[in-house]
């Protein structure tokens, strides 16, 4: 099997060389007007503190900003602590129920939570997927697409993360398949090289609510960070992820994609940022389209929160969760639920530390006492 399949290629792109420590410090000094020694001393204090911030995150989240108070700086937390905290907050025997996407959708099929239609699974192993068509080779894929007609298909690795390897099938001419961003491939190359040995979930394509057409032609989702309590959920952070017209997925690491901080209560856009090597750039209008972002309110927001409440209850042993929810003309659709959820996206998007009083109290109640 190929070692340069779609997943491996995206992983390599994500892991490309980052700036060095001196470059990060020089950038922070230029942006803040502060001296290098002042920045180093401040960062070292935060690195030894409860948030354990590495230098790249200290600079990336703009913690060096002279307008931030010491109290506000102390609320930032390293993404490296995400799994240690998640393992304490969650019953990790449930992890496969969220991270195996076929199993997750299968679990939710009779719930009030709307999910994309699963059309088939591609898997070369002996695993069975009851109730779902299974493909295991090029001939199977060709037959599936012939039966599917001209309808597009969204494909993602069944146990994937960060949208690595995600793509859309735009059509087939019988001998070849047309892949978004790739063009035409013969079926043997597509299955043997592009997919490789990965298991993929094949889904119907969800379409944005008309509201999002002013920004992008590709599917946007809302990331909700969720604290699952006995009396319901609390959402400390909500982020709208807007992909460019050229990106099939909305992950923030993909060049040009935008992360917008939302008011968790109303769905109003408060901030809008794109990623750059040293952190983020702010925007008030969508780049290249001159459409205002700040102050706009997402449609169906109360339905989004209701979906999150219903979904969270199904996975209640996972007390700290995150969800990616698309908003269509017909209402919200759960794209993914995650065990835990990275601290990086909400901190990049909002410019605020993840460790609010509510978050700290919740993590302590779950058993994490290092805050």
Counting every residue written for the chain, the total comes to 371
Q: What is the DSSP string of 56-91?
A: HHHHHTTTT-TTS-HHHHTT---GGGHHHHHHHHB-
| Three-state DSSP class for residue 116 | coil
Q: Determine the pLDDT at residue 150.
A: 85
Element housing 228 (H / E): strand 221-229
Return the DSSP state at 318: B
Domain range summary for the chain, segments of one domain joined by +: 11-76, 84-112+208-366, 117-204
Q: Determine the pLDDT at residue 146.
A: 94
Q: Determine the pLDDT at residue 1.
A: 40
- Quick one: residue 168, left, alpha or beta (phi over 0 = left, psi -120 to 50 = alpha)? beta
Which tens digit of pLDDT belongs to each residue from 297-336?
Answer: 999 999 999 999 999 999 999 999 999 999 999 999 999 9
pLDDT < 70: residue spans in the chain: 1-3
Residues whose CB is less than 8 angstroms from the CB of residue 205 and which lie 6 or more positions away in sequence, other chains included: 151, 152, 153, 154, 168, 219
Which tens digit of pLDDT belongs to each residue from 148-203?
Answer: 988 999 999 999 999 999 999 999 999 999 999 999 999 999 999 999 999 999 99
Span between the terminal Cα atoms of the chain, in Å: 46
**148 within 8 A of 205, measured Cβ to Cβ:** no
pTM: 0.96
At the fourth CATH level, the homologous superfamily of domain 84-112+208-366 is: ATP-grasp fold, B domain (3.30.470.20)
* Chain centroid offset of residue 309 CA: 19
| Three-state DSSP class for residue 6 | helix
Q: Determine the pLDDT at residue 58.
A: 98
């Amino acid at each position: 099997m190929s070692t340069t399949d779609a997943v491996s290629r995206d992983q390599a792109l994500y892991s490309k060389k980052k700036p060095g420590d001196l470059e990060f410090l020089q950038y922070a000094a230029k942006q803040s007007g502060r001296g290098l020694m002042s920045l180093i001393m401040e960062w070292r204090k935060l690195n030894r503190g409860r948030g354990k911030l590495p230098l790249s995150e200290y600079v990336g989240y703009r913690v060096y900003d002279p307008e931030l108070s010491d109290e506000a700086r102390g609320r930032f937390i390293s993404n490296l602590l995400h799994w240690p905290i998640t393992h304490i907050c969650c019953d990790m025997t449930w992890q496969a129920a969220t991270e195996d996407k076929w199993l997750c959708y299968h679990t939710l099929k009779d719930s009030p939570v709307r999910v994309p239609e699963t059309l088939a699974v591609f898997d070369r192993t002996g695993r069975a997927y009851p109730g779902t068509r299974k493909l295991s080779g090029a001939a199977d894929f060709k037959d599936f697409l012939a039966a599917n007609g001209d309808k597009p298909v969204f494909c993602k690795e069944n146990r994937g993360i960060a949208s690595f390897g995600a793509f859309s099938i735009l059509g087939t001419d019988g001998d070849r398949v047309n892949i978004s961003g790739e063009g035409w491939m013969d079926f043997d190359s597509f299955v043997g090289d592009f997919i490789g040995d990965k298991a993929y979930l094949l889904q119907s394509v969800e379409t944005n609510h008309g509201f999002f057409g002013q920004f992008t032609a590709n599917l946007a989702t809302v990331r909700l960070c969720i604290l699952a309590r006995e009396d319901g959920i609390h959402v400390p952070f909500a982020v709208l992820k807007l992909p460019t017209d050229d990106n099939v997925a909305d992950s923030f690491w993909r060049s040009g994609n935008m992360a917008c901080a939302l008011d968790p209560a109303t769905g109003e856009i408060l901030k809008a940022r794109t990623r750059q090597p040293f952190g983020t750039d702010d925007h008030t209008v969508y780049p290249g389209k001159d459409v205002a972002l700040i102050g706009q309110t997402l449609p169906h927001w109360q339905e989004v929160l209701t979906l999150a409440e219903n979904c969270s209850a199904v996975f209640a042993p996972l007390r700290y969760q995150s969800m990616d929810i698309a908003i269509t003309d017909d209402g919200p659709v759960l794209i993914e639920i995650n065990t835990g959820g990275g601290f990086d996206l909400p901190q990049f998007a909002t410019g605020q530390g993840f460790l609010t009083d509510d978050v700290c109290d919740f993590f302590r109640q779950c058993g994490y006492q290092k805050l």
